Structure 1
Amino acid sequence: MATGRIVIRADSGLDIGTGHVMRCLTLADALRDQGAEVVFVTRRHKGHVISALTGRGHRVVILPGNTGVSYGAHPAPPAHAGWLGAAWSEDAAATRRVLDAEGADWLVMDHYALDREWQQAALTAGTRLLVVDDLADRPHMADILLDQNAGRQAADYNGLVPDDCDRLIGPTHALLRAEFAQSRSEALARRDSLSRPERLLVTLGGIDKTNVAATVLEALAASPVAAGFEITVIMGGSAPWLEEVQSRAACMPMPTEVAIDVANMAQHMTRADLCIGAAGSTAWERCTLGLPTLQVVLADNQMAAASYMDKHGLALALPFPDAPDFASAVSKGLEHLSQRDTYRTMAHRAAALTDGEGTGRLAHQLIDREPLHAH
């Protein structure tokens, strides 16, 4: 009998962002399509995207947001322990109750604030563990470890996971929605036929807590290279600076629209010619579709992958948004990628990094594994 009961532990919010929950949602949809039962355990942090989970029909166990309780005694608290907003032991106990109630075959954990101590307390005897990580900075008792970042090596997790842990490393394993693989042929054909880019997509995460989108629009407004572009800015409905960005967009010297909570990101990326984008999980969406990108680092955990991609011609790295040369770097980057040979070379290199099929492969791997207990 194949495994089919899965609990996912992930959070979203202003500090955490939306990426962890959204990539887990992608996996959850694929698992459900293959007959699995999925339940999310998540906290109601400020800026959460729980509605995205319920809106797709998934069951959700909601824990309180910031409880005001400290992380608690721990041998070596994770660097991001503060993201939990609760005592790790209480969080583990709450998750364990859900695992027990569901008779779960798998626990999927995607959370920088949680580690092996939490896992030992949360896991039930019959439950396997999939850890989704980007940091390689803390130990796990994982059966499968997924780190989808470019430049990451399996050896980076030596001593952090059991020797028999199945390590899925690199963008070929990225958790992307099926629409990206489905749009791949159309997108790559568009890149090859393009004479000069004209449509620019700006996508800086669902939250954009520091209002980088406004900084990007300011740079584009001042750039003579950008004058001929049509611009689309993708934002989340929970973004704190949404109204300001909408106001700026209305005053831009070139056609600029703001699209909110889009359900067709692959279509937007396929129709775009260039992108200014965050160096997070959406990087692998852009690579699947061969979309040449000026990449912005918005969090420390994005720096290594962004540096690797710049070095290998997979994307062009921009300086930090508060750097004095940011605007000039945007303009120079657009000019550089508007050259036909440069454009096509980056499109092909990026597309070679991943085919966008990682989610389906992982879902099969979880469901096809023999369960540890009988239901």
Structure 2
Amino acid sequence: MLLMDGSLVIRTDANPSIGSGHVVRCVSIAREARLRGLQVLFAVSDKKSQEVVEGRGETAVIVGGDPRSFNERDAHTVADFAQRVQAVSVLVDSYAVSHSFMDRLHRRCHDSGSQLVYIDDVYTFSEGFVPDPIPWSLDVVINYGFIFSEDQYRNLYGPNVRLCIGPRYAPVRKEFHNAGYIVRNDVGRILITSGSTNPNRTLERMVEGCRLASVDAALDVIVGGQADFDDHVLDGLDATIHRGVSNLAPIMKRADIAISAAGSTLYELACVGVPTIAVPIAENQMGNIRGFDSLGLGLGVAELNWASAAVASDLDTLVRDSRMLRYLSKRMTSCIDGAGARRMLNEFGFLMH
């Protein structure tokens, strides 16, 4: 079945400040890897990250370290763990990386015959968001953001690094594939989500945007597992609060429009085909917002400190134009087809006959 046997080690973390987006996309990759016969083990910094990973049905081992800053010692820890489990690939998905960490881990992987894979969001905790990709020591680089091109990365890395660049590589869980979504002429339900967290009252401001737009639609408000929410903001509105949602796909399929943060959920919405207004909840989402908007996939509020009035304006635009809703839905599903994780694993070298 496989051209290569062994295990895949995924080094990532999740907590209230980081969110769970790293884990969500890595779970999609892990599930595809298991279909190809690999054992998948997550290596995490602490108990909180372990709980998030295992809450999604994966196995996580605590290897220690600061989830906001990886150094050379952390590289040795990950490499030692990878060797013990006979890993053929180590996938790093974290904003805590540094050049000392990646350089050392890459050398250790090379010495043991494994490959180093990195998901690059052009953002790190130490540098913040950078407008252009920077080179790392690695074998495979992934950036499925809407704004970057393969040419940018090929010019940066040369011919010896394998590239998974562009939204066609977005790893989306199978429950969002082939959703059979139907665009309706009248907007009856609006989905509101900020992922697992709710920084700076994002959900409340999204709701206020709906109120300002005076849209006659029911609201489905998704409150993530690491989020607080002021229920009183919904007073007088036809709204349902959903907490502890493990599968968002059925709620997405009922929605006529979504208002969403520009993280992992945005790719899931695109795969389903729900016309979406995307807003940033962190600096690292700004590039994604601009790319989402410029590719004609949806409307993006391209200001980090956005106001509810901006959401109301975009919502008013979509509610009044059913042809735009159909156009955006078709564009989204043509861009994100659900096969991203499969394409990634092919690039890793885990090919199926």
TM-score, normalised to structure 1's length?
0.82
**Residues 16/137 of structure 1: CA separation in 2 closer, same or farther (3 Å cut):** farther
| Shift in Å, 1:150 | 1.1
Q: Is the 8 A contact 1:142 1:161 kept in 2?
A: no
The corresponding residue for 1:285 is: 268
Alignment-mate amino acid for residue 197 of structure 1: V
**Residues 291/162 of structure 1: CA separation in 2 closer, same or farther (3 Å cut):** same
**Residues 59/308 of structure 1: CA separation in 2 closer, same or farther (3 Å cut):** closer
**Residues 108/319 of structure 1: CA separation in 2 closer, same or farther (3 Å cut):** closer
Q: Is the 8 A contact 2:195 2:224 kept in 1?
A: yes
- State the distance in 1 between where 2:346 and 2:40 align: 14
Match of 2:277 among 290, 294, 302: 294
**Residues 208/147 of structure 1: CA separation in 2 closer, same or farther (3 Å cut):** same
Q: Cα deviation per residue 1:83-139 (whole Å; 9 max; x = unaligned)?
A: 624x51221121112111111100001122214532332233211112111215432
Matches within 5 A, 1:195-214: 195-214=185-204
Matches within 5 A, 1:64-213: 64=64, 66=66, 84-85=68-69, 88-122=71-105, 123-124=108-109, 125=111, 126-135=113-122, 137-158=133-154, 160-161=156-157, 163-183=159-179, 186-187=180-181, 190-191=182-183, 194-213=184-203
| Shift in Å, 1:158 | 4.7
In the alignment, structure 1 residue 346 sits paired with structure 2 residue 333:
no
Q: Is the 8 A contact 1:3 1:366 kept in 2?
A: no
Alignment-mate amino acid for residue 263 of structure 1: S
In the alignment, structure 1 residue 53 sits paired with structure 2 residue 36:
no
Q: Where does structure 2 lack aligned partners over 5 or more consecutive residues? A: 123-131
The corresponding residue for 2:344 is: 362
What secondary structure is seen at the aligned counterpart in 1 of 2:10? strand
- Structure 1 stretches (4+) deviating beyond 6 angstroms? none
- State the distance in 2 between where 1:56 and 1:322 align: 32
Q: Where does structure 1 lack aligned partners over 5 or more consecutive residues? A: 67-82, 371-375
| Shift in Å, 1:59 | 2.2
Alignment-mate amino acid for residue 15 of structure 1: S
In the alignment, structure 1 residue 248 sits paired with structure 2 residue 233:
yes
**Residues 337/222 of structure 1: CA separation in 2 closer, same or farther (3 Å cut):** closer
Alignment-mate amino acid for residue 41 of structure 2: V
Alignment-mate amino acid for residue 54 of structure 2: T
- State the distance in 2 between where 1:322 and 1:300 align: 10
The corresponding residue for 2:129 is: none
Match of 1:235 among 217, 223, 227: 223
In the alignment, structure 1 residue 328 sits paired with structure 2 residue 343:
no
- State the distance in 1 between where 2:52 and 2:17 align: 18
What secondary structure is seen at the aligned counterpart in 2 of 1:202? strand
The corresponding residue for 2:249 is: 266
TM-score, normalised to structure 2's length?
0.87
Greater alpha carbon shift after TM alignment, 268-277 vs 355-364 = 355-364
The corresponding residue for 1:44 is: 46
Q: Is the 8 A contact 1:198 1:229 kept in 2?
A: yes
- State the distance in 2 between where 1:287 and 1:173 align: 13
What is the CA RMSD across the aligned residues, in angstroms? 2.3
Q: Is the 8 A contact 1:205 1:278 kept in 2?
A: yes
Percent of paired sites with the same residue: 27
Q: Is the 8 A contact 1:144 1:165 kept in 2?
A: yes
- State the distance in 2 between where 1:318 and 1:40 align: 34
Q: Cα deviation per residue 1:267-305 (whole Å; 9 max; x = unaligned)?
A: 221211100011122222111122111110122222222
- State the distance in 2 between where 1:210 and 1:41 align: 30
